[in-house]
Structure 1
């Protein structure tokens, strides 16, 4: 299993959230999720200015195997999207926790972060999934 960065929070549905210094939250899908999906061929990004709701679909990633919703871990306004993914969706396969980020949310409810899994709990969730 790949290394899970310690500064991230996770959803059971394999999205990660990184709280940035300016209070925004960068969102992507985990290394584990991109591995399950296989080679990504398309990413449907949300629009800047859209409102994200915690636990609701905000984007879609499509691989040669399947299309999968990407859920927002937090609520707020989408303030940035990773336009580079339109031309190079495989960036998520190559660098899920770095250049493969999908969108950024201006957080409206910090308490939602408390409901997310820390890296250890996420690693445990993955292990239980594989049993």
Structure 2
């Protein structure tokens, strides 16, 4: 029975290290790159929770932002403007299958080892 518990814990820990999507807060932006803080805490099987590390150089897709409505003073009509992500925004991020740092500008590259790591994140939407 102890072996099955060990195996189940090992499987659970491996699955905890596979990242597919998560919610984060924008710490700062520079063009289409953001520094983000994941909001879900990390927890090893049987361990204590810990605050995840800040992720730097996280790409932000160009259509990621929010729409803000306002009354146009010239016409009195309701207008809408698009605002790019900014510090403090809560965003949804997805993790690429493999490292995209060498390929995100269109080049071909052999990615380093690893799958679905949190450092492979891309900001895709504002919540």
The TM-score normalised by the length of structure 2 is 0.29
Higher relative contact order (CA 8 A, sep 6+): 1
- Work out which of the two has the higher radius of gyration on C-alpha atoms and give 1 or 2: 2
